[in-house]
Chain A
Amino acid sequence: MSILVDSSTRVITQGITGGAGGFHTDQSLLYGSQFVGGVTPKKGGATWKGEKSGKALPVFNTVAEAVRATGATASMIFVPPGGAADAIMEAADAGIALIVAITEGIPVLDMARAKRFLKTKPGSRLVGPNCPGVITPGQCKIGIMPGHIHKPCAAGETGIGVISRSGTLTYEAVFQLTALGLPQSTCVGIGGDPVIGTSQIDLLEMFEADPGTRAILMIGEIGGTAEEEAAAFVAKKVKKPVAAFIAGQTAPPGRRMGHAGAIISGGSGSAADKIAALEKAGIEVAPTPADLGTAVQKALARKK
Chain B
Amino acid sequence: MKVHEYQAKELLAAAGANVPKHIVCKTADEVAAAFDQLSKGGGGVMVKAQIHAGGRGAGQLLGHPDKLGGVKFCASKDKARSVAETMLKYPLKTLQTGPNGQPIKTLIVQADAEPDKEFYVAVVFDRGVGLPVLMASAAGGMDIEKVAHDTPEKIIKVPFSPETGLLPFQARRLAYELGFTGDQVGKAEGIMLALSKVYLAKDATLAEVNPLAITKSGDVMVLDAKIDFDDNALFRHKDVAALRDEGEENPAEVRAAKANLNFIQLDGTIGCLVNGAGLAMATMDIINYHGKAHGVGPANFLDVGGSVTADGAIEAFRIILSDAKVKGILVNVFGGIASCATIARALVAAGKEVGFKVPVVVRLEGNEVTEARAILAAAAGELPTLKTAADLTSAAKLVVELSK
Residues in A lying within 8 Å of B, measured CB to CB: 27, 81-82, 105-110, 112-113, 115-116, 144-146, 148-149, 164-172, 175, 192, 194-195, 219, 221-226, 245, 247-252, 254-255, 257-262, 266-267, 271, 287-290
Contacts and interface: CB of A to CB of B under 8 A. Distances in A.
Given A112-B125, A289-B285, A175 B230 contact: no
B278 A167 contact: yes
B57 to A, nearest CB: 19
B278 A219 contact: yes
Interface in B119-168: 124-125, 127-128, 130-132, 145, 148-149, 161-163
B391 A107 contact: no
Given A113-B163, A146-B336, A267 B282 contact: no
Contact of A250 (B205, B232, B285, B337): B285
Nearest to B302: A258
Contacts, number: 175
Nearest to B276: A168
Contacts of A108: 125, 203, 205, 230, 232-233
A166 B277 contact: yes
Given A108-B232, A194-B125, 20 more contacts: A112-B125, A113-B163, A144-B337, A166-B278, A172-B282, A172-B365, A195-B130, A247-B281, A248-B281, A250-B284, A251-B301, A254-B96, A257-B264, A258-B276, A258-B278, A259-B277, A260-B232, A267-B145, A289-B392, A290-B396
Contacts of A225: 127-128
A165 B278 contact: yes
B232 A112 contact: no
Contacts of B223: none
9 A-B pairs with least C-beta separation: A166-B278, A258-B277, A168-B276, A169-B278, A146-B336, A107-B233, A289-B282, A247-B281, A168-B279
Contacts of B127: 194-195, 223-226, 261
Interface residues of B, number: 56
A53 to B, nearest CB: 14
22 contacts: A105-B232, A108-B233, A109-B162, A112-B125, A112-B130, A113-B163, A169-B276, A169-B278, A169-B281, A221-B281, A247-B279, A247-B285, A248-B282, A250-B284, A254-B96, A257-B281, A266-B124, A287-B289, A289-B392, A290-B391, A290-B393, A290-B396
- Secondary structure dominating the interface of A: loop
Interface string B386-404: 0000011100100000000
Interface string B355-372: 000000000011100000
B35 interface: no
B94 interface: no
B341 to A, nearest CB: 14
A250 B298 contact: yes
Pick from B287, B297, B298, B334 the residue with the most CB of A within 10 Å.
B334
Nearest to A132: B336
Nearest to A225: B128
B62 interface: no
B238 interface: no
B303 interface: yes
Interface in B295-320: 297-298, 301, 303, 306
